[in-house]
């Protein structure tokens, strides 16, 4: 019996195909690499951190958009060409995981407000889960209150501080205190850092004063969720707001439609939803009470005064959750010289 020997090109193609399939399966079901582009999670995660996301903890999601170039997300590498076609949309399921999302987990998810895109191809965000389904959340003077109990979600939280000084501060001084976000003002600087660092910075002889820049109560922010025109909430004084839980039932009235109307319309997978004159209609039928189909989470960045999070765009639906941020495998400081770019002290740090 004779054996037909594969040519070099065929062997190379088969090996490449196998590698792509294997990498795609690993990426879908176990771990996936991400990079941090913004400072919203400092100091827990810094710009230039490269991390692995563990999909096994919460359970991997089955693909919804199968017509996609392997190992891409949204765009083909180095181009603005979409990497997918939405001709086919599959129902999404989540395989069993080892655990469920807990408060203070650092979670990677798809940005909910990109409503025009398939769920699995929305932009990836990473934030800290501060409230679980069924929790009642309130923020009072910057302090998070869950179910009437004050909690600090992380010792690494940053806030905006005002630095009063008559001198121009050399960048190496900011670097000495691990302060990476600072801007000059008429009376000094605005910095984003931890409170413990701000108090040490205050002891410098050329600093007159350092104080936190919190927003006043009842000072509404135009983009606050769920409706800045009807609720005088802001990033430091927020709620109370109950996070929707699967099978939670709410009565349909003006107040609940302000809080949950957009969530029902955008994420509960109904074909025809409308809200008219404080009434909810699904498939042209008026709904007096509504039962939620899935769980939701409230996510916030550790850089509390420089984070676009659930305070601005709302709840994260469970079907948008990708996985838990696991550990940092590389960290690069783009502002340093070639030999100092790698932050060696951050390599292989677990994310807490």
Question: How large is the average pLDDT for residues 85-108?
Answer: 94
Question: How large is the average pLDDT for residues 299-328?
Answer: 96
Task: Report the candidate in 3, 105, 120, 128 with the shortest Cα–Cα distance to residue 54.
Answer: 105
Give dist(CA 148, CA 139) in Å, integer: 10
Q: Report DSSP letters for 140-187, one per residue.
A: ETTEEEETTEEE---TT-BEEEEEE-SSPPPHHHHHHTT--EEEE-SS
Q: Average pLDDT of the chain?
A: 91
Cis status of the peptide bond prior to 211, with omega within 30 of 0: no
Residue 98 has pLDDT above 90, yes or no: yes
Predicted pLDDT of residue 5: 57
Q: Mind listing the pLDDT tens digit for each residue in 322-335?
A: 999 999 999 999 88
Cis status of the peptide bond prior to 240, with omega within 30 of 0: yes
Q: Pairing mode, if any, of strands 249-251 and 273-276?
A: unpaired
Residue 305 has pLDDT above 80, yes or no: yes
Task: Report the candidate in 200, 203, 196, 189 with the shortest Cα–Cα distance to residue 161.
Answer: 189
Q: Match 């600072």 to its residue by tokens.
A: 182
Predicted pLDDT of residue 338: 77
Residue 62 has pLDDT above 90, yes or no: yes
Higher pLDDT pick, 89 / 8:
89
Q: How far apart are the first and last CA of the chain?
A: 61
Cis status of the peptide bond prior to 8, with omega within 30 of 0: no
Give dist(CA 179, CA 243) in Å, integer: 34
Question: How large is the average pLDDT for residues 302-313?
Answer: 96
Predicted pLDDT of residue 180: 87
Task: Check: CB of residue 42 under 8 Å from CB of residue 180.
Answer: yes
Q: Match 């000495």 to its residue by tokens.
A: 176
Q: Pairing mode, if any, of strands 124-131 and 49-54?
A: unpaired
Residue 1 has pLDDT above 70, yes or no: no
Give dist(CA 302, CA 154) in Å, integer: 7
Residue 2 has pLDDT above 80, yes or no: no
Predicted pLDDT of residue 203: 94
Q: Mind listing the pLDDT tens digit for each residue in 123-169?
A: 999 999 999 999 999 999 999 999 999 886 556 789 999 999 999 99
Give dist(CA 301, CA 333) in Å, integer: 20
The answer to which of 6-20, 28-42, 58-72, 182-196 has the lowest mean pLDDT is 6-20
* Whole-prediction pTM: 0.91
Output phi, psi for 274, to 5 deg.
Answer: -145, 150
Q: Mind listing the pLDDT tens digit for each residue in 214-272?
A: 888 888 888 999 998 899 999 999 999 999 999 999 999 999 999 999 999 999 999 99
**CA dist 135 → 102, 130, 141 (Å):** 12, 10, 19
């Amino acid at each position: 019996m004779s054996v037909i020997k594969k040519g070099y090109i065929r062997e190379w193609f088969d090996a490449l195909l196998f590698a792509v399939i294997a990498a795609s399966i690993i990426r879908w079901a176990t771990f996936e690499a991400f990079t941090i582009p913004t400072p919203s999670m400092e100091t827990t995660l810094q710009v230039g951190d490269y991390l692995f996301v563990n999909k096994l903890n919460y359970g991997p999601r089955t693909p919804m958009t199968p017509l996609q170039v392997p190992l891409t997300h949204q765009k083909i590498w180095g181009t603005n060409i979409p990497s997918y076609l939405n001709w086919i949309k599959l129902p999404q399921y989540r395989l069993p995981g080892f655990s469920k999302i807990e408060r203070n987990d650092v979670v990677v998810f798809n940005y909910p407000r990109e409503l025009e895109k398939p769920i699995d191809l929305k932009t990836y965000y990473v934030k800290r889960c501060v409230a679980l389904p069924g929790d009642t959340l309130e923020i009072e003077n910057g302090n998070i209150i869950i179910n009437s109990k004050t909690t600090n979600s992380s010792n690494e939280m940053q806030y905006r501080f005002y630095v009063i000084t008559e001198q121009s501060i050399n960048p190496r001084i900011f670097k000495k205190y691990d302060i990476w976000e600072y801007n000059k003002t008429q009376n000094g600087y605005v910095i984003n850092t931890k409170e413990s660092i701000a108090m040490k910075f205050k002891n410098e002889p050329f600093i007159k004063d350092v104080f936190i820049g919190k927003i006043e109560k009842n000072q509404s922010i135009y983009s606050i969720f769920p409706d800045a025109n009807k609720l005088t909430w802001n990033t430091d004084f927020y709620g109370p707001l109950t996070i929707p839980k699967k099978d939670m039932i709410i009565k349909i009235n003006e107040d609940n439609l302000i809080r949950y109307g957009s969530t029902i319309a955008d994420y509960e997978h109904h074909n025809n939803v409308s809200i008219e004159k404080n009434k909810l209609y699904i498939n042209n039928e008026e709904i007096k009470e509504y039962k939620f189909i899935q769980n939701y989470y409230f996510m916030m960045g550790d850089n509390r005064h420089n984070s676009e999070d659930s305070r601005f765009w709302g709840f994260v639906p469970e079907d948008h959750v990708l996985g838990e941020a696991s550990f940092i495998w590389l960290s690069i400081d783009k502002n340093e010289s070639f030999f100092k770019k790698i932050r060696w002290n951050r390599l292989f740090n677990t994310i807490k």
